[in-house]
Chains A and B, each alone.
Chain A
Amino acid sequence: MMIEGVLYLLVALLVAIIEYFVAGPIGDFGLSNWWIAAIIFAAFEGYCWPSGQTAVMRLMGSSVQLGDGSFAGPLRMAVRQLIRFLIVYAAPLWAFDFNVWRIVVIAVAVAVMIEALDRAGVGAKAPWDLFVGSAVVEGGIAGVSPDLGPIRSIADLRLAPGRAAQNERARKAMFAAGLSSVVVSVLIVLNIFTEAWVFVSDQEFSWGLLTDVGWFPRRGQFDLSTLFVGTLWVTVIAMVVAGPVGIGVAFYLSEYAGDRTQRIVKPLIETLASIPSVVLGLFAISFIFPKILQPIFADIGIFSLLAAGLGVGVLTVPIVASISEDAMRAVPGELREASYGLGARKATTALRVVFPAAISGISAALIVGVSRAIGETMVVFIAAGGSGGALFESDPTEPGQTLTAAMASVGAGTDSVAGSGIAFQSLYFLGALLFLATLLLNVVSDFIVRRFRQVY
């Protein structure tokens, strides 16, 4: 102990001298020199001090048991080293930007710590561990567990207080992580609805504006029916694509496909699910419009609700497919076997036995698909046109605006809109509507699954 203390003071002195020469005369000590000194200090100390050594050993795979009985992992050791570093060096260095004082403070701090350690009788421990809360017990060799002492009584078998405390800490930490979802939900609801209230209660706002001609937020025209019609069209078109294709793929995967074909079709659906929606926006403009729509509708423009709806449909296929497939797979094999036993054909089994048994899951899949189609933004923002606003339009081959695309348009011009009246707040108003709509759909699909699920 004595030797280590002397060594420590010598190191401090050495570093102070280095500091002096690196930093030059008193009062001329820049940040970079500060760092050089600190790094030399830390490196030296890490080399000769037990705690530093155990940290290195720990990083190489040894186990370190702390004073409270728990075991420190590399991350915890790193954090401890950091705290220690801050307390011992950074704090005094930062507090006194003056060389002589700094040296004195370091020396005194070190002396006090060593003295305190001696008094505490902790033994050959690193001084800073008093400040971190627990002392480092000598680190073992990799794989060797610490000696817990001979077992003499039942009390020796009892969980060490350190492990119990660690267990409790872990439980609390996990619970806190679990609460994150609640916190996010509350933040979303609070933010959106207070801002939506700001919009509704603004002097410029009147409920008549919600049935004005067209959606032009910057001109103070907020006709919701324009957006509702657009959203409705996009959703209907998307589901016309995604419903049959998704359910058909689900039938194929769960009833017909063998192992090998499954290994081809499943990744395909996953690929479709991983395509970013902006790419499908581009797809709607550069493929769906010229290759599919133009040959059919002679006078269709590049931006249309129809193209956007088809693009969203492609995006919705994998959701419908995977949820319906799960529902069909959940139907027990006995039902199919009973059906075959009665002489039913494969198609009959799929349609008359599996399909009714999985109907709750399949309808939930369709509802989730609708919810996703309503919430899809980028495809519509890109392919449906109507950036600044849109007139009421019930023809899907014309450009239009949906709830989400209207939000994106307002949001895209955040800077220019921020100061201009209630246009910006309309973003939150629409967000609130969208949130409520999707929430309702999710709750309904949840309810259907719970209420109508057949339990086997």
Chain B
Amino acid sequence: MRGDVFDPSSLQKQPGADRSGQAFFGLISLAVLAAFVMVGAVFWDVVQGSWDISTSRMWGFVSTSFVSNPDEAGVAQGIRGSLIIAGIVILSFPIGIGAAVYLEEYATDSWTTRLIQVTVRNLAGVPSIVYGLLGLAVFVQTLKGLTGGDSVISGALTLAILVLPIVIITSAEAIRAVPGSYRDGAYGLGATQWETIRTQVLPAAMPGILTGTVLSIARALGEAAPLLVVGAAGYYTTGNNDFLEQMRGAFTALPMNIATFTKEPAAIWRGHAAAASLVLLVLVFLINLVAIIGRARIAKRLGR
């Protein structure tokens, strides 16, 4: 071999040399494509299924209550229930953010801290229907005098507990991402720990916290299993009484409507299920939009 001139082109990739690598990339692309197809199929299915209703009487559908005539039935009660739930779920935010602040800012490595961490992690993995059992026992049965039994208050408080670990975990992540120099600066100016947290850490973490809390509202809006156990009606035909009665009486929510419409034996109701799904998806989308805009505005105000 002596005397052979080194040919740099021999180092170039030969055509077809990386066939197995290309096959691997092909497989991976197939997986991504599958995910695209899933999302596309779900949305296509919802839009296509709700086409009849959404092109002919969408406003009537969202503004009228349930009646047994499929041509007139609407989901106004479900929308109202879902909105009340979204409002009440907000109650869990101060507690969740407070817990996150404790875990990230105050907690020392003690057994109480570890206990809190372990319970938060496990609660995040508990199936949603188990929260329904908790709500049934605590809010529907034990606190019946306060909540009125299987009412929207019981359902919403159950969901507030359900999203608590999500709020804690996302807020803790956002707080953890705040650089330590922010805290050092505040301490250097003589602020107490609480003043540091309130004036530096929380504002800096706010975009992340906001994202987490809004996602948790979206999650609460989509949950049906706990409501089912707590005793939400699929739909009901009475109601529209005074406010207190609405809060403590029979209630329903959009996901409950969807589930019940879908389980109806007559296929015509499946169109209603799809239309209600469309409403729910739009609602979730709007809430996410609020989060995105809010995050951008806060980030802008903080000059980042």
Asked whether B133 is an interface residue with its Cβ less than 8 Å from the other chain, the reply is yes
Task: Give the dominant DSSP class at B's interface.
Answer: helix
Contacts of A408 in B (CB 8 A): 129, 225, 228-229
Stretch in A11-19, A59-67, A111-119, A280-288 touching the partner: A280-288
Interface residue ranges of B100-141 to A (CB < 8 Å):
101-103, 105-107, 115-116, 119-123, 125-134, 136-138
Scan A252-267; emit 1 where CB is below 8 A from any B CB, else 0.
1000100000000100
Question: In the complex the two chains form, is A347's CB within 8 Å of B128's CB?
Answer: no
Given contacts A271-B39, A347-B20, contact A167 B262 (CB under 8 A): no
B218 nearest in chain A by CB position: A274
Scan A159-176; emit 1 where CB is below 8 A from any B CB, else 0.
100011011001101111
Q: How far is the CA of A64 from the CA of B270 in the complex (A)?
A: 59
Asked whether A431 is an interface residue with its Cβ less than 8 Å from the other chain, the reply is yes
Asked whether B221 is an interface residue with its Cβ less than 8 Å from the other chain, the reply is yes
Question: In the complex the two chains form, is A279's CB within 8 Å of B258's CB?
Answer: yes
Query: Could you say which of B215, B222, B228 contacts A276, with CB atoms under 8 Å apart?
Result: B222
Q: How far is the CA of A348 from the CA of B96 in the complex (A)?
A: 44
Question: In the complex the two chains form, is B116's CB within 8 Å of A182's CB?
Answer: yes
Query: Could you say which of B42, B95, B136, B168 contacts A414, with CB atoms under 8 Å apart?
Result: B136
Given contacts A252-B32, A347-B20, A382-B259, contact A435 B130 (CB under 8 A): yes
Asked whether A185 is an interface residue with its Cβ less than 8 Å from the other chain, the reply is yes
Question: What is the CB-to-nearest-CB distance from B254 to chain A, in angstroms, rounded to a whole number?
Answer: 8
Contacts of B290 in A (CB 8 A): none
Contacts of B225 in A (CB 8 A): 277, 377-378, 381, 404, 408
Question: In the complex the two chains form, is B127's CB within 8 Å of A376's CB?
Answer: yes
B162 nearest in chain A by CB position: A184
Contacts of A188 in B (CB 8 A): 123, 126, 130-131, 133-134
Contacts of B121 in A (CB 8 A): 442, 446
Asked whether A227 is an interface residue with its Cβ less than 8 Å from the other chain, the reply is no
Interface residues on B, range: 35 or more
Contacts of A191 in B (CB 8 A): 133-134, 137-138
Question: In the complex the two chains form, is A442's CB within 8 Å of B122's CB?
Answer: yes
Asked whether A195 is an interface residue with its Cβ less than 8 Å from the other chain, the reply is yes
Q: How far is the CA of A182 from the CA of B114 in the complex (A)?
A: 11
Asked whether B187 is an interface residue with its Cβ less than 8 Å from the other chain, the reply is no
Stretch in B69-77, B193-201, B236-244 touching the partner: B193-201
Question: What is the CB-to-nearest-CB distance from A159 to chain B, in angstroms, rounded to a whole number?
Answer: 7
A251 nearest in chain B by CB position: B28
Question: In the complex the two chains form, is A317's CB within 8 Å of B35's CB?
Answer: yes
Query: Could you say which of A180, A252, A277, A407 contacts B164, with CB atoms under 8 Å apart?
Result: A180
B contact set with A: CB distance below 8 Å:
18, 20-22, 24-25, 27-32, 34-36, 38-39, 41-42, 45-46, 49, 94-99, 101-103, 105-107, 115-116, 119-123, 125-134, 136-138, 150, 161, 164-165, 168, 192-195, 197-198, 215, 218, 221-225, 228-229, 231, 255, 258-259, 262-263, 270, 273-274, 277, 280-281, 284, 288
Would you mind naming 17 contact pairs between A and B with Cβ atoms under 8 Å apart? A167-B195, A170-B193, A171-B194, A177-B101, A178-B107, A181-B165, A274-B222, A276-B224, A276-B277, A278-B258, A279-B222, A314-B42, A317-B38, A347-B18, A415-B231, A427-B229, A439-B125
The 10 closest A-B pairs by CB, nearest first: A248-B31, A375-B127, A276-B222, A177-B98, A347-B21, A411-B229, A377-B225, A170-B194, A178-B102, A174-B102
17 A-B pairs besides A251-B31, A382-B263 with CB distance below 8 A are A177-B99, A188-B133, A245-B38, A274-B284, A277-B224, A287-B42, A347-B21, A372-B125, A374-B127, A377-B128, A377-B228, A378-B259, A408-B225, A411-B129, A414-B229, A414-B231, A434-B127
